[in-house]
Amino acid sequence: MPASIDPALRDALLARIRFYRELGLMEFYRRPIEVSESSSVPEPALSPSKGLESETLESTEEGKPIPRKPSSTVHQSEADSLADRASALQLIRDDIGDCTRCALHKGRNKIVFADGSPSARLMFVGEGPGADEDAQGLPFVGRAGQLLNNMINAMGLKREEVYIANVVKCRPPGNRTPEPEEANTCSPFLFRQIDVVRPEVIVALGATAATYLLGARQPLAGLRGRVHSFRNSKLIVTYHPAYLLRDPRQKKEAWADLQIAMRELGLKAPMRS
Ligand code: SF4
């Protein structure tokens, strides 16, 4: 007689399987990661504020994943570093204060600074807070945030192991794209956060994040499928989760981008078909 399954657990498992299927994860693991020639694009036309280079993705030896630094073992020196980074991030938050440096302060409820580990190896950068984020003061907590959480989990990570921030820290009215003056005023805080966290890999979520991290406005399609570099981190561009909610067919493409991030981090796939 089959053991009974908790209905809530069953529904959660079915939802997870559906999500993996939508990502194209099952199909993806049947073949190695490929980066076609057509995915290469010219170098960005503008230089960013500091240290931008762009490099094409180099192939790595398949089947020889780089050992992952164990996140659960924290040595004393790492703990000191963690404390230092947390303090440094708090200084940045203190510097922001009750910010009125750009017009976005007029409509906000809460400044959305960041969420996650100060010593994360992987950082996600989005565009700006939405309604849920503005209400809670945390990035990516609405429907798009739930999808981002699923994407992080699909990589074999937990949300608390990564660092999440946005280009602007106050919600643009009606969730419009931040104006260049607003993004240019706020993004130096993001750059300081990146300098403190020093992630090995940054994933830019959507065109706005890619534009202000890479210093040039280019079609997202031309920036995906490559490893860029920014402030000593590798930078990978993919779709914003809010866009993926509107067009779920692109989830498979987003998963291909996350696979590049995983390879750069030496992460093994959490499951195989
Ligand atoms: S978006 Fe950034 S610069 Fe503008 S008011 Fe908010 S914290 Fe200040």
Same domain flag for 35 and 132: no
Last residue of a domain, one of 52, 78, 104: 78
The b/e string for 107-117 (b: 16+ C-beta within 10 A; e otherwise) is: ebeebbbbbbb
Checking DSSP bridges between strand 53-55 and strand 122-126, what pairing results, if any? unpaired
Same domain flag for 140 and 228: yes
Query: Ligand 1 mean position to 132 CA, how many Å?
Result: 17
Same domain flag for 50 and 107: no
Same domain flag for 74 and 209: no
Supply the pLDDT for residue 21. Answer: 64
Ligand 1 pocket by Cβ (under 6 Å): 96, 99-102, 104-105, 111, 168-170, 182, 185-186
Same domain flag for 120 and 51: no
Query: Ligand 1 mean position to 273 CA, how many Å?
Result: 45
- The preferred substitution site among 169, 171, 175, 184 for testing ligand 1, maximizing ligand atoms within 8 Å of CB, is 169
Same domain flag for 167 and 257: yes
Query: Is the residue at 273 inside a domain?
Result: no
Query: Ligand 1 mean position to 99 CA, how many Å?
Result: 6
DSSP string, 61-130: -TT-PPPPPPSS---HHHHHHHHHHHHHHHHHHHHHSS--SSGGGGG-SS----EE-TT-SEEEEES---
pLDDT along the chain (273 residues), means of 10: 67 65 52 37 32 33 33 44 91 98 98 97 98 98 96 96 98 97 98 97 98 91 94 97 96 96 90 50
Same domain flag for 39 and 73: yes
Supply the pLDDT for residue 18. Answer: 65
* Token pair belonging to 230: 């920014």
Same domain flag for 114 and 238: yes
* Ligand 1, atom nearest to 128 Cα: 1
- 230 to each of 1, 53, 145, 200, 234, how far by Cα in Å? 57, 7, 24, 10, 6
Query: Ligand 1 mean position to 77 CA, how many Å?
Result: 34
Residue nearest to atom 3 of ligand 1 (CA): 186
Supply the pLDDT for residue 10. Answer: 75
Query: Ligand 1 mean position to 171 CA, how many Å?
Result: 9
Residue nearest to atom 4 of ligand 1 (CA): 102
Checking DSSP bridges between strand 122-126 and strand 163-166, what pairing results, if any? parallel
Supply the pLDDT for residue 211. Answer: 96
Q: List the domain range (segments joined by +) for residue 19.
A: 7-78
Q: Identify whether the C-beta of residue 126 lies closer than 8 Å to the C-beta of residue 140.
A: yes
